Structure 1
Amino acid sequence: MKKTTRILHKKNWFISSTQSKSIPHRDKMSTFVKAVLLVVIGFQAWIALAQDPNGCPNIVKRAGWSASKSSNVTYQIKPVQHVVIHHTATQSCNEMPVCKEIVKSIQDQHQKQNKWSDIGYNFLVANGGNVYEGIGWHRVGAHTKGYNSKSIGIAFIGDFTKELPSAKALRAAAKLLQCGVNMGELDENYLLYGAKQISATASPGKALFNEIKEWDHYDPSPVL
């Protein structure tokens, strides 16, 4: 006698007389997978927030790029009222080992040739999206004469006369600024300038300067 296969339909389940397993409907599986993904994404976001509630970008600390010790430290009054944007006028970088070498070479130049106590910038931003701690928050730098004691100097690594920093770098800088506000290091109404507005320099380069003119805190008329 020929054996027949009988298939029963019960809602979204398919049961075969020759099959002992039950297979969920594809739509239910899809919904389940989406739910799991949402839980995973939400958990990752929670972990990120728990690790850094101030929403700071990835900041490579001084030890991470083998910084030399500062010969003198002068502190600022918080919250700082101004931000000055620079470019380093060096090669740009994406990979961390290359960026570390560039940051260290800038510190060497500032300390050995310029005879400064440390690297002049508070922070440096690379095209790879990492931020490198220079002298850091609430410390007086040596980046913009007349504004060092009352501003944070942020330098984008590279020459941005003709081209912009990467989208990753621009996002990292924006996060750094908001991080500073959240931490109480920057005044929430801080004013932002390009170095060329204050000093006789081409920094931060024409392309980058045109970019920062569109940023929320940009001030076209710094007090000199």
Structure 2
Amino acid sequence: MKQVISLLVIVAISLTVADDEEAICPTLVTKQEWGGIKAVHVPYQIIPVPNVIIHHTVTGACSTKAECGSIIGNIQNRHMDVLNFDDIGYNFLIGNDGRVYQGAGWHIEGAHTYRWNKKSIGIAFVGDFSSELPVPSALQAAKNLIKCGVATGEIDQNYKLYGARQLVPTESPGVDLYREIKEWDNWSSTW
């Protein structure tokens, strides 16, 4: 009888954890759904990664799944055809439609921040956020994605959050978005 009760408690705890992860984890628009192509090569990461790096794409913003898919497809083509990357460089992209789009994905080394790719997840907001912010639903989607990464063991629970400009010579993620992320959990001024 004690074994049955113990088993039921374990099952109940497992279901609660699964429900919490579902509540946190945003639904991803898969690479197939946005029209992306498969990676040429897939370099895996050791997880959990200790860093999250925020970017912007310096493209037009998008507010529909079709618009976002088109812009992200162009980014992937540029990364693969012009820059010779194995895939789109970002792990995930966030549209102004509030959706999270799969880039390279979880536990895959991206190509977004020189010397930091092996030890980070790169999240890019689709658009130019030098003088405006992404919509609130996009900002929340990014926060939920990070929480999901922590809950599922992809991101270290003591991760550090950076804007790309802190680590490499770039303006990314834009002045306004950089100012915003400095208020987020785990933002770090040092590395």
Same fold at TM > 0.5: yes
Equivalent position to 1:202, from 165, 171, 180: 171
In terms of mean alpha carbon deviation, does 49-58 or 144-153 score higher?
49-58
- The aligned counterpart of 1:109 is 78
Matches within 5 A, 1:19-30: none
Pairing 1:97–2:76 present:
no
Contact kept? 1:54, 1:182, Cα under 8 Å = no
Task: Report the Cα distance in structure 2 between the residues aligned to 1:218 and 1:61, rounded to whole angstroms.
Answer: 28
Please list, as runs of the form range in 1=range in 2, the aligned pairs for 1:1-224 lying within 5 A after superposition: 53=22, 55-222=24-191
Letter in 2 for 1:137: W
Task: Using the TM superposition, give the Cα deviation of residue 145 of structure 1 relative to its aligned residue in structure 2, in angstroms.
Answer: 0.3
Cα deviation 1:119-165 (Å, max 9, x = unaligned) = 00000001111000000001001000010000000000000000011
Q: Is the 1:54–1:183 Cα contact (8 Å) retained in structure 2?
A: no
Q: Secondary structure of the residue that 1:53 maps to in structure 2? A: helix
Secondary structure of 1:92's aligned partner: coil
Unaligned runs of 5+ in 1: 1-48
Provide the C-alpha distance between the structure 2 equivalents of 1:182 and 1:173, rounded to a whole number of angstroms: 14
Instruction: Please name the residue that 2:7 is paired with.
Output: none
Residue 16 of structure 1 is matched in structure 2 by none
SS of structure 1 residue aligned to 2:75:
helix
Match of 2:9 in 1: none
Question: How many residues matched?
Answer: 174
TM-score (norm 2): 0.88
Higher relative contact order (CA 8 A, sep 6+): 2
C-alpha distance in 2 between matches for 1:127 and 1:53: 22
RMSD (CA atoms): 1.3
Give 3-state SS (helix, strand or coil) of 1:90's partner: coil
Which residue number corresponds to residue 11 of structure 2?
Answer: none
Q: Among the aligned pairs, what percent are the same residue? A: 49
Work out whether residues 116 and 142 of structure 1, in 8 Å CA contact, stay in contact via their aligned partners in 2: yes
Shift >3 Å, 4+ stretches: 49-52
- Tell me the residue number matched to 2:5: none
The residue aligned with 1:7 is none
Q: Is the 8 A contact 1:71 1:117 kept in 2?
A: yes
**Distance change in 2, residues 1:183/1:217 (3 Å):** same
Q: Distance in 2 between matches of 1:198 and 1:92?
A: 24
1:23 match? none
Distance in 1 separating the partners of 2:180 and 2:133:
8
Give the superposition deviation at 1:67. 1.2
2:51, 2:121 within 8 Å by CA — same for their partners in 1?
yes
Flag structure 2 segments of 5+ consecutive residues without an equivalent.
1-17
- Offset at residue 50 of structure 1 (A): 5.2
